[in-house]
A = this chain, B = another copy of it.
């Protein structure tokens, strides 16, 4: 498939590398490709400059958000949650209409101090806001409840653990499920919560995820819903 990855941070890189390995034609989207390729400094999380990573993936493209998306069959939103809507607006409804978007972003709000809070939250969510703003885009919320490496390599954590999906369009969820299975997720461990309103629930896992990261001293863990 032709797949656009919006965002060049750790989540975008992790998903792009995996999809490239799986034989998809991957184009990453960024605001200004030239700027993204010339930056020499580490990002806020201490990750290497994009160009170092990018040099190892000659088949992966890098274009503006709009160019990367134009010919895509599937879009991953890996932008920061506070800018996702404006990034999608810069692409435009005409390009997005009818496409499937897997929304991996969390609306982390660093303005209230650390650890970040969420905005929107509680009576709304980023997944819902994207779906509302682009009614003909088929939004599936998924993968936003774990660290970037685990998303595409669930065996990094042994045993059973879950990934959630939700969205209003069944065929889009079927596609998302197929992509997750290709990442290594066993089908029985993919929990379909229902409509996109359920992204409130998965985004609100972030506060405890961040606190568990501190309490456990590792980001290599995941939620498992244990039942009989």
A-to-B contact residues, CB < 8 Å: 112, 117-119, 121-123, 157-161, 164, 191-194, 198, 200-202, 204-205, 207-208, 210-212, 214-216, 218, 220-228
Chief secondary structure at chain A's binding surface:
mixed
Kindly provide the distance from the CB of A210 to the nearest chain B CB, expressed in whole angstroms.
8
Interchain CB contact under 8 A, A220 and B228 = yes
Kindly provide the distance from the CB of A184 to the nearest chain B CB, expressed in whole angstroms.
15
**A193 to B207 alpha-carbon distance, docked (Å):** 12
Kindly provide the distance from the CB of A86 to the nearest chain B CB, expressed in whole angstroms.
22
Given known A-B contacts A112-B123, A117-B123, A123-B112, A227 and B223 have beta carbons under 8 A apart: no
As for how many copies of this chain the complex holds, the number is 2
Interchain CB contact under 8 A, A215 and B192 = yes
- From B164, B200, B221, B227, give the contact of A207 (CB < 8 A): B200
Which residues on B sit within 8 Å (CB–CB) of A221? 225-227
Q: Which residue of B lies closest to A205 (CB)?
A: B208
Interchain CB contact under 8 A, B226 and A223 = yes
Which residues on B sit within 8 Å (CB–CB) of A159? 226
Interchain CB contact under 8 A, B216 and A208 = no
**A122 to B122 alpha-carbon distance, docked (Å):** 8
Which residues on B sit within 8 Å (CB–CB) of A216? 191, 225, 227
Interchain CB contact under 8 A, A211 and B215 = no
Given known A-B contacts A122-B117, A161-B226, A226-B159, A193 and B212 have beta carbons under 8 A apart: yes
- From B157, B194, B205, give the contact of A227 (CB < 8 A): B157
- From B207, B212, B224, B226, give the contact of A204 (CB < 8 A): B207
Kindly provide the distance from the CB of A174 to the nearest chain B CB, expressed in whole angstroms.
17
Q: Which residue of B lies closest to A214 (CB)?
A: B194
Kindly provide the distance from the CB of A37 to the nearest chain B CB, expressed in whole angstroms.
36
Kindly provide the distance from the CB of A106 to the nearest chain B CB, expressed in whole angstroms.
12
Kindly provide the distance from the CB of A227 to the nearest chain B CB, expressed in whole angstroms.
4
Interchain CB contact under 8 A, A223 and B223 = yes
**A211 to B202 alpha-carbon distance, docked (Å):** 10
Max chain B C-beta neighbours (<10 A), residue from A121, A201, A228:
A201
Which residues on B sit within 8 Å (CB–CB) of A160? 226
Which residues on B sit within 8 Å (CB–CB) of A224? 161, 223-226
